[in-house]
Chains A and B, each alone.
Chain A
Amino acid sequence: MASPVSAVPTEDAIEAAVEKPVERGEPILQVRDLEKHFPLTQGILIKKQVGAVKAVDGVSFDLYQGETLGIVGESGCGKSTLAKVLMNLERATAGQVLYKGEDISKASGRALKAIRRNIQMVFQDPYTSLNPRMTVGDIIGEPFEIHPEVAPKGDRRKAVQDLLDVVGLNPEYINRYPHQFSGGQRQRIGIARGLALKPEVIIADEPVSALDVSVQAQVINLLEQLQNEFNLSYMFIAHDLSIVRHISDRVGVMYLGRMVEIGSDEEIYEHPTHPYTQALLSAVPVPDPSGREGRERIILSGDIPSPANPPSGCRFRTRCWKAQEKCAIDVPLLAVPEVFRGQDTPAAHASACHFAEDVDVVGAS
């Protein structure tokens, strides 16, 4: 916490900002140069830092009010750590998270509690995210116990039942335990808990990847209905590209702790300019066997390098077929590539590649 005092907003400032209304389409969450490094230590009693896992390493983007921003990337790309840092579950090593203009990355005490009311999370695993020893009523009612001002004591039970109703569960199940429900139903309980405080932003970390195919669509539909109804802004983290495309207004692609490309869903899916995005899109199995023989597939060689020791320059260069000397030296910035600058083309969106080119890999258009 060595940053100058002026840069850290006071609790009052944050509390005041939290109440501020944000117009649809204005940025509600602005992430600037966010870093999260986990120190690697050796020794048992006397710990010596021997390096750091750079899980998130300089990520910037905006989340606009009312939109869904999809974040895709493979395991180890830092997308889940990003969610935890935005939730203040992990402290950022550097950088800022501006919520309605105030930096919340260092918030604590009252301010943090106020932020918690407004930014909530839906977890990936419906089996571990609900306390097995609490009833559904206790689980969904817990937010009210922590924030008693949201619902007076006498109304809580009714509020919990209403929430169950909203997520499509029978309100009479209030005394049941999580293990009495299926995965999809548990995820609904988790969503109800996230909604209890009437948040403005919901960060969903792989909310459907643990569910059966036939149940995934139900939960996706529910999330979309709730967004319309309660005017929520979503950050939707997933590795399933077709679901992300369905639900997202904009999509960011992460690789090894960095955002490599970000743009509208059409820009990313139909005009990807970063080679990693292209490889990712071409690797996704398409549930349509017609034309599978003719499909050109970019098969990447090798594995993701360790985030403790990322390659210099562009992090993707070790697996990239376009890599040249420049890629090992200069870190490509996430900006509209020079070749497309000033052009009126969907390819003119932010992409962190020295040799960006517009390739339609999916052949969807």
Chain B
Amino acid sequence: MSSTAVSARAKTGDTEETPLLQVRDLHVEFRTRDGVAKAVNGVNYSVRAGETLAILGESGSGKSVSSQAVMGILDSPPGFVTGGEILFKGRDLLKLSNEERRKVRGAQMAMVFQDALSSLNPVHTVGTQLGEMYRVHKGSSKKEAKLKAVELMERVGIPGAKERVNQYPHQFSGGMRQRVMIAMALALEPDLIIADEPTTALDVTVQAQVMELLGDLQREYDMGLILITHDLGVVADVADKIAVMYAGRIVETAPVHELYARPAHPYTRGLLDSIPRLDQKGQELYAIKGLPPNLLRIPSGCAFNPRCPMAQDICRSEVPPLHAVTEEDGRPLPGRGSACHFWKETLHG
């Protein structure tokens, strides 16, 4: 498979200068009966080949919406991309026609969803659905497609692939279904995989299997992986770098080790502090007060200000930009950013 990895690298033309995917100032809004919900408000991130970016956030933070916009599978209406660029291998996907976009999807970027049961068609066998990828995109014959399907199923560790290729989705367990989904995403050897809460619906022991599989495949094929999740544990296990989202904005970016060791945004710190820890047994857990904001009425200034223990007047009036985060002596911390007026106090204080 090493040749595949090499070719994958060559195919992307990925160099240090141009990342595989670059999202610039992305805006998405949902026009509903009750008003305009600003789901994504100016998001920037990039992923290189072989890199895992975790987008961490709670429900309503815009983490899923932003990736749906990248994939081009946003429900529209009511959802609209209202601004920004999505550069994939240097091409702005938002400027492509629907047909061109469709060719990119599946072949060059693929998605793994949370709910594998509803993402598979219940009336077709797993083999047919896997094989379809080859038949549609590569024009393979029925027989070839089935062989390919078996190969893929073996690749993602489904035991008895030869027999199971003729079974229907409901005959698979949750973990096995998620493997089928991964196989499907992998079928055309895409350069980028977006996994939206891929293990949330799974049990912990199965979750570990699936995350390990994803990690192995990513290394093997040298793909970029965007992992969308709310689970601080999963992120810590697999991510290289993290973007924390809140109310449609990225509030903090950092390499994984640094984020957990020294958060530079009060929201991130609050999330980390609210994880039960051993030495806190019998004590009250730290809890971020209040509730995530209503996207129809995002608070002015910093969206987190009503829940923030450090909020000052400036937080209510000015939206904090994503500041580059540095050490106390001014040494830069590469890859780190915090959208907090008081990032210095949060990080160093």
Interface residues of A (CB under 8 A from B): 74-75, 182, 184-185, 212-218, 220-221, 224, 239, 241-243, 245-247, 265, 279-280, 283-290, 292, 297, 299-300, 302-304, 364
Contacts and interface: CB of A to CB of B under 8 A. Distances in A.
B94 interface: no
B203 A213 contact: no
Contacts of A287: 232-233, 235-236, 260, 272, 275
B171 to A, nearest CB: 12
Given A212-B58, A286-B236, A217 B208 contact: no
A246 B281 contact: yes
A360 to B, nearest CB: 13
A285 B256 contact: no
A283 B236 contact: no
B280 interface: yes
Contacts of A184: 291
Contacts of B102: none
What 4 A-B pairs have minimum CB-CB distances, sorted nearest first?
A285-B233, A246-B276, A74-B203, A217-B287
Nearest to A212: B58
B203 to A, nearest CB: 4
A159 to B, nearest CB: 26
Given A239-B204, A285-B233, A214 B256 contact: no
A285 B209 contact: no
A212 B230 contact: yes
A241 B204 CA distance: 10
Contact of A285 (B176, B231, B271, B285): B231
Given A75-B203, A243-B276, A299-B212, A285 B234 contact: yes
Given A217-B274, A287-B272, A182 B291 contact: yes
B206 interface: yes
- The DSSP consensus for interface residues of chain B is helix
A184 B60 CA distance: 14
Contacts of B288: 214, 217-218
B237 A285 contact: yes
24 contacts: A74-B203, A74-B204, A74-B206, A75-B174, A184-B291, A213-B232, A213-B274, A217-B287, A220-B285, A239-B203, A242-B275, A242-B276, A246-B276, A246-B280, A247-B276, A265-B281, A283-B208, A285-B231, A286-B233, A287-B232, A290-B261, A292-B237, A300-B205, A304-B203
Nearest to B56: A213
Contact of B205 (A221, A283, A288, A364): A283
A317 to B, nearest CB: 15
B284 interface: yes
A228 to B, nearest CB: 10
Interface in B219-236: 230-236
A129 B239 CA distance: 36
Contacts of A279: 205
A286 B237 contact: yes
A246 B287 CA distance: 14
B42 interface: no
B248 interface: no
A77 to B, nearest CB: 9
B58 A364 contact: no
Contacts of A220: 276, 285
Contacts of A364: 278
A202 B284 CA distance: 20
Most buried by A among B174, B207, B234, B291: B291
Given A212-B230, A287-B260, A289-B257, A303 B206 contact: yes
Most chain A CB neighbours (cut-off 10 Å) among B174, B212, B260, B274? B274
Contact of B176 (A74, A213, A303): A303
Contact of A290 (B209, B260, B280, B291): B260
B236 A217 contact: no
B300 interface: no
Contacts of A241: 204
Contacts of A303: 173, 175-176, 206
B115 to A, nearest CB: 14
A357 B156 CA distance: 33
A214 B285 CA distance: 11
B252 to A, nearest CB: 15
Contacts of A284: 204, 233
A283 B204 contact: yes
B221 to A, nearest CB: 21
Contacts of B203: 74-75, 239, 304
A214 B276 contact: no
Given A242-B275, A289-B256, A221 B284 contact: yes
A289 B274 contact: no
A292 B275 contact: no
B59 interface: yes
B279 to A, nearest CB: 10
B276 A245 contact: yes
Interface in B195-212: 203-209, 211-212
B306 interface: no
Nearest to A365: B278
Nearest to B270: A214
B293 to A, nearest CB: 11
A216 B274 contact: yes
A284 B286 CA distance: 21
A304 B270 CA distance: 36
A217 B58 CA distance: 14
Contacts of A246: 276, 280-281, 285
Nearest to B209: A299
B204 A212 contact: no
A246 B206 CA distance: 23
